[in-house]
Structure 1
C-alpha cells in the first residue's frame, strides 16, 4: 500500500504484477469531537456530517461522459456502481464506496475524477480521520491511500483521479479544496485537474 501526498502519482497494478481489472474507491470520515465546555456551547463535534463521494468520467477531449453520485448510483453502462449515500460517517471503515470495473469501461473514457463534498455545507473543520483509498477488488488489498483530513472552511475536495495510459492506469492524489454542495458546484476546480 502506498500512502500518497498531494500531487503524487502511482502506477496501479496488481501486487503480483499484471493489470488491474476491478477497483473500489473508498471514502471514510468521522465527526471531529470538540473538547470541553467550549465545544459543547460552540456546537462543534455534535451531530452527523453528510459527505458525498462522486465519480466523474471524462474522454480524451476533457468532455464529461458520465457521472456517478448519490442521485445516479451507477454509470450508464454499469461499469461503475456507488454503494449509496451515507449521511452520518458513523462506524469504522469506508462510509461510501464506488466500485469500478476497469475492464468494462468504454475505451473512450480516459480519466475518472473522484470528488467529495458536504451536501449540508459542513466545513472540513468539523471532519476528522477523512481519507480516500483505492482497493483491488480481486483480492481486497489496499493499493493507495490519501489522507483528506485538514482543517479548513472548504466544503469539498477533488480527491484523486485515475488516468488511462498505454500500460494501464495511474492514480494521482489531487486534494484540491473547493466549495459546493454537489460536484456540479465544483466544476471549475475539477476541470483544472484534467
Structure 2
C-alpha cells in the first residue's frame, strides 16, 4: 500500500483503512539550518493526551522526555534526541491505539525548541520537519506529513494529531506554529506553567 502524503489541514483515516492495526510508531524528524549563533539546537517532542474539551486532565496526560509514558502506558515517548543529527526519525512515540483510555479523544504531537528564546532560535532555522505514522507490527509507513518551510519566528509547532471519530482513529496534519515555546502549548492545553 502506498504511503498517504498529506498537506497542512488534511485528515486521513488510520484504523478504517488498516483494519486490525493496534500499535503505531509516530516518528518525528527535522534538520537545523546553519546559523552563526554558536548554540546547539535541541528540539523536543511533547505529546498532549486531550479529552473532549481539548484539554489534558492533568500532568499525567502530558508525555515528554521527563514523563515518557501516559494514557495508562498506551503512549510512550522513546527518549530525547539532543542533536537531531542523522537521517530518519529524530524522536519516536509508540501508541497502542486500542489501549488508549476512553476519555482521551485526541493525541496531539508537538515539537518545541528547547531554550529557544535564550538561544535566539526559531523554526525559521529548521527544515525538512516531518511526522510519519508507521504500523509497528509490519514496519510499514502509512501516513507522512512534511511540514515545509512555512515558519519563521515560531518556537513551538503542533505538528499533527491522532483523534477518535465514530469509533475509528484518524490523523490530522495540523502544522500550526506558536510563539512562547512549550509553556504556551502547555497553557493552551490546560496545564498551568510559569
Normalised by the length of structure 2, the TM-score is 0.84
Q: Which runs of 5+ in 2 are unaligned?
A: none
SS in 1 for 2:8: coil
Q: 1:21 matched to which residue of 2?
A: 22
C-alpha deviation, 1:48, in angstroms: 3.1
SS in 2 for 1:125: helix
| Residue deviations 1:77-103 (CA, integer Å, cap 9, x gap) | 111110111111101110100111111
CA contact (8 A) 1:156 1:179 kept: yes
> For 2:75 and 2:186, how far apart are their aligned partners in 1?
20
SS in 2 for 1:109: coil
Q: Which runs of 5+ in 1 are unaligned?
A: 35-42
CA contact (8 A) 2:56 2:189 kept: no
Determine if the alignment matches structure 1 residue 64 to structure 2 residue 56. Answer: yes
Q: Any runs of at least 4 consecutive aligned residues in structure 1 with deviations exceeding 6 A, and if so which? A: none
> For 2:125 and 2:20, how far apart are their aligned partners in 1?
38
C-alpha deviation, 1:52, in angstroms: 0.7
Give the one of 99, 106, 113 matched to 1:104: 99
CA contact (8 A) 1:24 1:137 kept: yes
| Residue deviations 1:135-193 (CA, integer Å, cap 9, x gap) | 111111111111124141111111111111224101010111112332x32246668xx
Q: 1:124 matched to which residue of 2?
A: 123
CA-atom RMSD in angstroms: 2.1
SS in 1 for 2:105: strand
CA contact (8 A) 2:55 2:189 kept: no
CA contact (8 A) 2:8 2:147 kept: no
Q: 1:141 matched to which residue of 2?
A: 140
Count of aligned pairs: 180
Give the one of 5, 9, 12 matched to 2:11: 9
CA contact (8 A) 1:83 1:98 kept: yes
Normalised by the length of structure 1, the TM-score is 0.84
CA contact (8 A) 2:63 2:69 kept: yes
Q: 1:87 matched to which residue of 2?
A: 82
> For 1:173 and 1:18, how far apart are their aligned partners in 2?
21
Give the one of 33, 43, 50 matched to 1:51: 43
Query: Per the alignment, do residues 166 and 19 of structure 1 end up closer, same or farther by CA in structure 2, a change over 3 Å counting?
Result: farther
SS in 2 for 1:77: coil
SS in 2 for 1:115: strand
